[in-house]
């Protein structure tokens, strides 16, 4: 399973905004973007006018980094979104949102998508009662995601349950049972990621 193994804070600096890739750390004084809010590298502080292609590329890279996936997989999501009915850009974000690792993160299990992805990979979650350890597993409406019985007894999961997150409209959670339900496929209004999906479609449409 391919994944990015470089410096995480470097990604936020390159995109010029906090992507909250390290969870709670991003809201402390240790946040690298707060201390050095310019792009990494020798010419990071120089100001250059961005071309249309550059703007499109940055939006694509931003989306990839927020959801923690690499180019080949992102391209497959785009190709799938392009074949679905509706607006391609919105379809793309919907496909990314219903990934199991993202749903686990949205439910509050993990301070970041990276941590949620690790929890899924380690086999801590069930989907409709069956163990699924594939972060990219695509969920559909009415499916239930729950923590494994052994995982619920750990201190880490108890902390998650005691600090519930504000859920998006397309998810519901039962903290006592350590489970959440995908009520419906999210709409664009439900997805709060700071990405202009239209620019991504323009980039891939060339």
Q: The dihedral of CA 58, 64, 70, 73: what is its sign?
A: negative
Q: How is domain 99-185 classified at the CATH fold level?
A: 3.10.290
Compute the chain's Rg from CA coordinates: 18
Q: Please tell me the predicted confidence (pLDDT) of residue 9.
A: 58
Is residue 178's pLDDT more than 70?
yes
CATH code for residues 8-93+193-204: 1.10.1050.10
For 29-42, what is each residue's pLDDT tens digit? Answer: 555 555 565 566 65
Average pLDDT over residues 113-140: 95
- The whole-number average pLDDT for the span 115-141 is 96
Q: What ranges do the domains of the chain cover?
A: 8-93+193-204, 99-185
% the chain with pLDDT above 70: 77
Whole-number Å distance between alpha carbons of 119 and 46: 39
Tell me the pTM: 0.83
Relative to beta strand 144-147, strand 179-182 is antiparallel
- Please, what is the angle between helix 197-204 and helix 88-97, to 10°? 110
Calculate the average pLDDT of the chain: 85
SS3 content of the chain, % helix, strand, coil (to 5): 45, 10, 45
Which H helix or E strand runs over 2? none
Residue 75: both structure tokens together: 């391209």
Structure tokens at 79: 């190709």
Q: pLDDT digits over 58-110, tens only?
A: 899 999 989 999 999 999 999 999 999 999 999 999 999 999 999 999 999 98
Percent of the chain with pLDDT over 90: 62
């Amino acid at each position: 399973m391919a994944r990015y193994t470089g410096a995480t804070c470097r990604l936020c600096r390159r995109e010029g905004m906090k992507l909250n890739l390290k969870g709670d750390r991003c809201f402390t004084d240790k946040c690298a973007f707060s201390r050095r809010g310019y792009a990494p590298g020798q010419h990071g502080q120089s100001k250059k006018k961005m071309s249309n292609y550059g703007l499109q590329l940055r939006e694509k890279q931003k989306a990839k980094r927020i959801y923690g996936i690499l180019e080949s997989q992102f391209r497959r999501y785009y190709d799938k979104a392009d074949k679905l009915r509706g607006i391609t850009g919105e379809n793309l974000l919907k496909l990314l949102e219903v990934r199991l690792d993202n749903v686990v993160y949205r439910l509050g299990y993990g301070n970041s998508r990276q941590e949620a992805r690790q929890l899924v990979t380690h086999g801590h979650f069930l989907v409709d009662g069956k163990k699924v350890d594939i972060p990219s597993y695509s969920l559909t409406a009415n499916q239930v995601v729950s923590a494994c019985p052994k995982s619920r007894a750990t201190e880490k999961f108890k902390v998650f349950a005691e600090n519930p997150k504000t859920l998006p409209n397309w998810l519901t959670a039962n903290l006592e049972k350590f489970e959440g339900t995908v009520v419906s496929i999210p709409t664009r209004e439900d997805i709060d990621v700071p990405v202009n999906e239209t620019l991504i479609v323009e980039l891939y449409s060339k």
